[in-house]
Structure 1
Amino acid sequence: MVKFNVNKKRNSTGIEIKQAIMTGVSYMLPFIIAGAVIMGISRIGASFYGIDNIWDGSHAEAGNALIRMFHAFDGFGGMALSLMLPVVAGYIAYSLADKPGIGPGMIAGLLAKDLGTGFLGALAAGFVAGYIVRYLAKNIKLPQSLASAGPIFIIPVGGTLLACIIMMYVIGDPLAAMNRGLEAWLLSMSGTNKVILAAIIGGMVGFDLGGPINKAAVTTAMAMLASGIYDPNTAAQVAIIIPPIGIGVATLIWKSRFPESLQEAGKASTLMGLIGVSEGAIPFALANPKIIIINVIGSAVGSAMAVGFGAVNRAPISGFYGWLAVENWLTYVVAIAVGSAIVTLGSLLVFKGEMPTKITKKSDKPSFNITKA
């Protein structure tokens, strides 16, 4: 008999929703990264042959074997990206209802994709499927002789059917209309408006370094990828790495302005920035919250420059290993360098050789009470 734990202790609704979204996004990322990097490889390779539309079907019959290979690579990447919405919906449902939620969630997410509801529809599909499956698992009581039929037949079939009915006939059309409106608004942005939006996203990402404001901006930017809108993602991916790189470089340039503990943290911060982890800058924000303002400014400027000068990042990849796959990548790298330089200079102004107070034996927790040397 197959058993699934759908009755485990639950958190509050708000925390549960947040955890479900984060679970869905975390499982979705490998598909996006794999697909986008493979497509980037194919397009960079094709560019050496003067081809800027390697996805076009005519290249499948090209006389050059490498061109045919690059065309195939682009198709592989496209297949990986096509799984983005079903996977995020399936694993949101998994977070809510354990393994029985995966099938109904993925199928409802695939329907959301076909209905044109975009990322918002996939999120909704995951929650609808997850809560339906949880309800069915909790409330369907079968005789002992039929108990095994619940998790392998009744729950998958019933959960999938109910979730798809709700998506198709209740929330599909409103979500599709909302998604089309959002796409039209973003696509209509040009010039100054586009740059301002990039600066806002960049500032939000740089504000709390992986916290709720950062996550809201990054998740929204990623949502637009499914609709072929890349400017928000470009802004977010630039902003993710500017604070840790900028602060880390500051500790390398003039380490005496930082306490010894933060000098060591600076080395880690630089590395974490290069691989796309903004949390590397958190120790510095805890030690001196003034650096938050510098992070916001540097991230906003870098993001606005990248978008304003035409860089396009089509993948949720901020680490250095994805920079060459960015369209107009040199501009993209320069924007990162400028934003990081702002953070570096600001860090050297904010940290002035101040030292944290000594840790007393009575406390096991480090103290970051700043006093003048």
Structure 2
Amino acid sequence: MSKFKSEKKSVGIELKNAIMTGVSYMLPFIIAGAVLMGIARIGASMYGIDNIWDAAHSESANMFVRLFHDFDGFGGLALSFMLPVVAAYIAFAIANRPALAPGMIGGLLASNLGTGFLGALVAGLLAGYIVKYLAAKIKLPQALASAGPIFLIPVGGTLLVCVIMMYIVGAPLSSLNSGLENWLLAMSGTNKIVLAAVIGGMVGFDLGGPVNKAAVTTAMALLASGIYDPNTAAQVAIIIPPIGLGIATLIWKNRFPESLQEAGKASTLMGFIGVSEGAIPFAIANPKVILVNVIGSAVGAAMAVGLGAVNKAPISGFYGWLAVDGWFVYVISIAVGAAIIAVGSLLFFTGEAIKTPEKPVSAAPKFALKR
């Protein structure tokens, strides 16, 4: 029984690590694409243009408008790698380099089949375990051994992944993805606010961990379908905890230990550039603050979506705020969520535990320097 539990646990850890590896390799593509799109849309807004992605702007008489249109296209091109890359590196984490091609091709097929992020996830796992199985079962003579990892396994793995995706799991996953999209598109009023609060709470829960990334990557994957509310909620929630906790250390400095006072400065900066991990030191120091993070993130996300802010790009840093429809409401929502966390953190950081007695100078030991 203990052996079975150990094997089950190891498979679970392998799956988790594979998915997190895929997401971590995908993020640079998302960030590059998002920043380019943010630059394009902020620049275009100076000319009163809110649809710079429209092909008509490629023929504009204004050189800068054409340039911003191209920048937006570059960003879109970077984002188009999102599903192939996440599938490729999920497979890579399971079965190393021979699984890269099957995973990436499977992820591209998932994108073409309309299966969304879930399809890319399945394609990556299929590619990883199929290649792992082939590597274990295919035995070649010594003279041909080098052909396995560079020819037989990638070709066979790619063919099997594509066949399974196309003829077995593609249609059900596409239907599931379409159903999810239709459900989210149909949400309005209170339901939309509840959805935003749930996504915001998930993002604020583990600050870049699996729950956070599940919410963020799913929300970003829905952008291609024109579903913006989940992304708006996620991008607001990403930056609320680090900003809120960072500001708390600036206003109520003496309530926090010296190490967190320093962490607060970095946390504030990381929040403004869109990195939620800046709040991690506070959660480690006192896990109870996670509850406040969840509440502040949920309230800020629900407020932004409920009052009509729309973020159409997967970008949370300050450099993208002006590109948001209803940017004033968006910024106010961030401020409200951050204020809740800043004030709420005082429940758990009281300053009592950080008072340390001064050590007398005479008590310090003396050491002789020796080689």
By the TM > 0.5 criterion, same fold?
A: yes
Which of 24, 27, 30 is matched with 2:22 structurally? 24
Kindly state the Cα deviation for residue 165 of structure 1 after the two structures are TM-superposed.
Answer: 0.3
Among 323, 326, 333, the residue aligned to 2:321: 323
Change (3 A) 1:269 1:77: closer
| TM-score normalised by structure 1 residue count | 0.87
Alignment match, 2:75: 77
- Give the direction of change, closer, same or farther, for the CA distance of 1:150–1:11 in structure 2 (3 Å limit): farther
Q: Which moved more, 1:220-229 or 1:148-157?
A: 220-229
Which one of the candidate residues 262, 275, 278 is aligned to 2:276?
278
Q: Structure 2 vs 1, CA of residues 50 and 245 (structure 1 numbering), >3 Å: closer, same or farther? A: closer
Instruction: Give the superposition deviation at 1:325.
Output: 3.5
Letter in 1 for 2:24: S
Question: In structure 2, how many angstroms separate the alpha carbons of the residues matched to 1:171 and 1:161?
Answer: 15
After superposition, where does 1:300-319 map in structure 2 within 5 Å?
300-319=298-317
Cα deviation code 1:32-71 (max 9, x no counterpart): 2222222232233223333333223222222222222222
* Residue identity opposite 2:245 in structure 1: I
Please list, as runs of the form range in 1=range in 2, the aligned pairs for 1:1-373 lying within 5 A after superposition. 12-356=10-354
Unaligned runs of 5+ in 1: 1-9, 360-373
Shift of 1:313: 2.5
1:120 Cα shift?
Answer: 0.6
Query: CA, structure 1 residues 65+215, in 2 after alignment: closer, same or farther (shift >3 Å)?
Result: closer
Compared with structure 1, are the counterparts of its residues 322 and 19 closer, same or farther at alpha carbon in structure 2 (3 Å cutoff)? Answer: farther
C-alpha distance after superposition, 1:227-252 (max 9, x if no partner) = 33222122122212212211221121
CA gap 1:308/1:105 in 2 versus in 1, 3 angstroms: same
SS of residue matched to 1:12 = helix
3-state SS of 1:53 partner: coil
| 1:337 shift after superposition | 0.9
**Corresponding letter in the other structure for 2:168:** V
**Alpha-carbon distance between aligned partners in 2 of 1:224 and 1:139, rounded to the nearest angstrom:** 39
Q: Quote the Cα distance in structure 1 between the aligned partners of 2:122 and 2:163.
A: 13
Equivalent residue for 1:367? none
Q: In structure 1, what is the Cα distance between the partners aligned to 2:267 and 2:50?
A: 37
1:368 counterpart residue number: none
1:291 positional shift = 2.6
> What is the root-mean-square deviation of aligned Cα atoms in Å?
2.3
Alpha carbons of 1:261 and 1:330: their partners in 2 closer, same or farther (altered >3 Å)? same
Deviates more, 1:174-183 or 1:15-24: 15-24
| Deviation, structure 1 residue 264 | 2.7
User: Percent identity at matched positions?
Assistant: 76
Q: Is the Cα–Cα contact under 8 Å of residues 198 and 304 in structure 1 kept in the other structure?
A: yes
Supply the distance in 1 between the matched residues of 2:323 and 2:271 (Cα, whole angstroms): 18
Give 1:217 shift: 2.5
Gaps of 5+ in 2: 1-7, 358-371
Q: Match of 1:311, SS?
A: coil
Aligned twin of 2:365: none
Structure 2 residue identity aligned to 1:47: S
Shift in Å, 1:168:
0.5
Q: Counting helix residues as a fraction of each chain, which structure ranks higher?
A: 2
Using the TM superposition, give the Cα deviation of residue 358 of structure 1 relative to its aligned residue in structure 2, in angstroms: 6.2
Q: Distance in 2 between matches of 1:279 and 1:286?
A: 11
CA distance in 1 between partners of 2:9 and 2:191 (Å): 40
Residue 350 of structure 1: CA displacement?
3.8
Separation of aligned partners in 2, 1:19 and 1:259: 33
Residues 44, 356 of structure 1: alpha-carbon distance in 2 compared, 3 angstrom cutoff: closer
TM-score by length of 2: 0.87
Moved more, 284-293 or 328-337: 284-293
1: distance between equivalents of 2:43 and 2:213?
33
- In the alignment of these two chains, the number of paired residues is 351
Letter in 2 for 1:275: I
Query: Partners in 2 of 1:344 and 1:240 — Cα distance?
Result: 15
